[in-house]
Amino acid sequence: MRGLVIKNTGSWYLVRTDEGQEVECKIKGNFRLKGIRSTNPVAVGDYVQIVLNTEGTAFITEIEDRKNYIIRRASNLSKQSHIIAANLDQSLLVVTVNYPETTTVFIDRFLASAEAYRVPVKLVFNKTDRYSDEETSYLEALCHLYETIGYACFKVSARTGEGVDVLREELKGRVTLFSGHSGVGKSTLINALLPGVAARTGEISSVHNKGMHTTTFSEMFPVPGEGYLIDTPGIKGFGTFDMEQEEIGHYFPEIFRTSADCRYGNCTHRHEPGCAVRQAVEQHLISESRYASYLNMLEDKQEGKYRSGY
Ligand SMILES: Nc1nc2c(ncn2[C@@H]2O[C@H](COP(=O)(O)OP(=O)(O)OP(=O)(O)O)[C@@H](O)[C@H]2O)c(=O)[nH]1
Ligand SMILES: [Mg+2]
Ligand SMILES: [Zn+2]
């Protein structure tokens, strides 16, 4: 029997069969992603074959080839990876300029990783009801920056409903991954977008101005008509998993376009003479914050470490 993995709670997987039945499943056999050690061989969004047993549960016996997937390092020191979700049409990165703060380094690392996995990303700026004038101006400046590069931006408030109808249109007929720091309001937004769904939400800590990791497992919710929305646990960092140093510039669209004019083909845009990217930064054609994020990603390649802070 064929089905879709809609939830992953540690050792159990909830599978919705093509007939619409929901079955709790375990894994049988040894699934390996070519050469990559993963903490979860099967991910939300995977299409699988299952074999029912007499207790009404089932074994997952086969995974269909994935169209794509988003993966990250399981933890700071770990060599293992964690597949966040598979078979995505797009990813929405939920961002807040405050409560909690999302830095441009975090945004840019996420965007670059999604480019590497060929998953289109859009940015959703949430909690517009809560910002000061200064924070609102900063948010406007960020939207302008990312729209100029080519990333669509949406301004919403899950609390007041502002912008939610416009965002709902983006979900129709697509499998969409929701990502972002803990506490930015992913689950609250899902509840606003899909009435009838009850995603669990939590407060942000008043002491640390950070989320409390309320959502602990990825889960797919059906979008009326067609499509799915995937709620995920908040992420702290996004390691540059399986990305080569020379590749990083390819995943910053404006840096990649400009690099065609660098004197050297293998220019890393740091200190090489005739670097068109550095010149564009000086002329404010490429934003300093984007260039800083690029350097930040290059650096952790050089140091060979994963930066938990991003
Ligand atoms: N003012 C305001 N608060 C919001 C908004 N959206 C969410 N919140 C609040 O932010 C807090 C965190 O919301 P969640 O939806 O649990 O955040 P999350 O991103 O799912 O967090 P994790 O599951 O931990 O990753 C809750 O107290 C929400 O009520 C918003 O648009 N405006
Ligand atoms: Mg949540
Ligand atoms: Zn260069």
Q: Which residues are paired to 23 by β-bridges? A: 15
Looking at 198, 231, 264, the residue that finishes a domain is 231
Name the percent of the chain lying above pLDDT 70.
90
**Does 98 share its domain with 203?**
yes
Q: Residue 301 above 80 pLDDT?
A: no
CB within 8 Å of 211: residues ≥ 6 apart: 100, 181, 182, 183, 184, 202, 204, 205, 234
Nearest ligand to the CA of 204 is 1
Q: Residue 51 above 70 pLDDT?
A: yes
Please report whether residue 309 resides in a domain: no
Write out the two tokens for 283: 């002329």
Q: Residue 183 above 50 pLDDT?
A: yes
**Does 8 share its domain with 49?**
yes
What type of residue is 37? R
Please report whether residue 73 resides in a domain: no
> 98: Cβ below 6 Å to ligand 1?
no
154: helix, strand or coil: strand
Of 97, 201, 213, 232, best ligand 1 pocket probe by most atoms within 8 Å of the beta carbon? 201
Q: 227-231 and 174-179 as β-strands: parallel, antiparallel, unpaired?
A: parallel
In the chain, the number of structural domains is 3
Predicted model pTM? 0.92
**Does 108 share its domain with 224?**
yes
pLDDT at 244: 80
Helix (H) or strand (E) holding 208: none
Express the helix, strand and coil content of the chain in percent, nearest 5 each.
Answer: 25, 25, 50
The total number of residues shown for the chain amounts to 310
Q: Residue 128 above 80 pLDDT?
A: yes
CA–chain centroid gap for 219, Å, is 14
- Helix/strand number for the chain, H first, E second: 7, 13
**Does 55 share its domain with 12?**
yes
Please report whether residue 310 resides in a domain: no
> 100: Cβ below 6 Å to ligand 1?
no
Domain containing 259 equals 245-303
Name the residue with the closest Cα to ligand 1, atom 27: 203
Cis amide prior to 100 (ω within 30 degrees): yes
pLDDT in tens, 216-251: 888 999 999 999 999 998 888 766 656 788 889 999
- The answer to whether the beta carbons of residues 158 and 195 sit under 8 Å apart is no
**Taking all residues of the chain, what is their mean pLDDT, rounded to a whole number?**
90
pLDDT at 237: 72
Name the percent of the chain lying above pLDDT 90.
70
Name the residue with the closest Cα to ligand 1, atom 22: 182
**Does 204 share its domain with 295?**
no
Here the CATH number for the domain that contains residue 42 is 2.40.50.140
Over residues 15-31, the mean pLDDT reads 89
Nearest ligand to the CA of 127 is 1
Of 188, 197, 215, 235, best ligand 1 pocket probe by most atoms within 8 Å of the beta carbon? 188
Looking at 200, 231, 262, the residue that finishes a domain is 231
